Amino acid sequence: MGLAAEERHEYAEALKWFRLAAQQGLSKSQVKVGYYYDEGLGAPKDHVEAFRWYTLAAAQGDPQAEFDLAMCYHKGEGVQSNRAAAIKWFSSALNHGYAKAANGLGLVYEFGPTSDYKEALRWYKKGAELGDEDAQYSACRLTVQGLGTPRDYSEAFHWCSEAADGDESDGSSWGQFGLGRLYENGFGVKQDYAEAAEWYRKSADQGNPAAQMSLGELYSKGNGVKRDLIEAYMWIAVAGTLGHPDAVEKLQSLGSKMKNVDLLQAQARARGWIAQHPPDGEDNPAENILYHHK
């Protein structure tokens, strides 16, 4: 019943059923309840309550719960930040076959009190080799920046390509974004704005705010696409609603160059896109690293 309600995006109804199952000890439902409180789906955000449900599920050896519990300790949400506890639970999840936990371990070493890029990259590559798309993007991201390893654009291209064309039907939005960045800047490949726009669009269509911002920038400059300020404003506005930190400043700059009728059209198109792409209860943004790219 919970899954059926979630499919209809009726999150309050879904939470009611997930909670009933969770109270009877079903670990997968306990994870769902925790996630709903984490993201404010069907109830106000409550990281402490989320942590409580993840703890109950993790105590049963649920690898998804172990991963989410580790994330709580890593980010200090619902509990005081604790690097050792984060490593413990990520490691347990990985030992239980949860490949995304290798990416989690990489995050701990990259974004902890002190950054150990070499150790972070080691875990990212382990996750990448296990087929985790987030880890593949993370490996691409560090390799292209030369963090923890000499800069190697060909290897970066390899890992972003693996993520972009991954096992899921749509591919990883972050892998697609990464390829867009490589093509836009000519890193490891011939600079090709049109190819960059194609990858950004694939990622943007999946709701990736960084790709939406980059696609909007291409439209604002006419790089790889026909210059179109309405299309540029639409994509950047969507990125802003999804939390991109640079969107508001860019929208102010773009809006000053547009006719009022065009501005209203762009805003309407942005609202239409958002209405047609409600948040997906299965897409956990905590599993991604937003905006850490150069």
Convert the pLDDT of each residue in 2-20 to its tens digit: 999 999 999 999 999 999 9
Q: Which fold has domain 1-98?
A: 1.25.40
Q: How far apart are CA 33 and CA 16, in angstroms?
A: 9
Collapsing DSSP to helix, strand or coil, 157 comes out as: helix
CB–CB of 65/51 below 8 Å? no
Q: Which residues contact 66 (CB under 8 A, 6 or more apart)?
A: 58, 89, 90, 92, 93, 96, 98, 101
Take residue 191 and report the two structure tokens written for it: 């600079």
Which residues of the chain have a pLDDT value below 70? 166-170, 279-294
Q: Which residues contact 256 (CB under 8 A, 6 or more apart)?
A: none
Take residue 127 and report the two structure tokens written for it: 């996750």
C-alpha neighbours within 13 Å on the C-beta side of residue 68? 33
Take residue 73 and report the two structure tokens written for it: 């300790």
CB–CB of 176/157 below 8 Å? no
What are the residue ranges spanned by the domains of the chain? 1-98, 101-202, 208-276
Take residue 98 and report the two structure tokens written for it: 């949860």
Q: Which residues contact 285 (CB under 8 A, 6 or more apart)?
A: none
Q: Cα dihedral sign for 74, 284, 213, 131?
A: positive
CB–CB of 58/40 below 8 Å? no
Take residue 55 and report the two structure tokens written for it: 């703890």
Q: What is the dihedral of CA 105, 106, 111, 116, to 10 degrees?
A: 110
Residue 177's nearest CA partner among 150, 190, 155, 159 is 159
The reply to whether 1-98 and 101-202 are identical in fold is yes
Residue 143's nearest CA partner among 132, 131, 158 is 158
Q: How far apart are CA 71 and CA 85, in angstroms?
A: 10
| CATH superfamily membership of 101-202 | Tetratricopeptide repeat domain (1.25.40.10)
Q: What pLDDT score does 112 carry?
A: 82
95 CB-contact burial (10 Å; exposed 0-12 / middle 13-18 / buried 19+): exposed
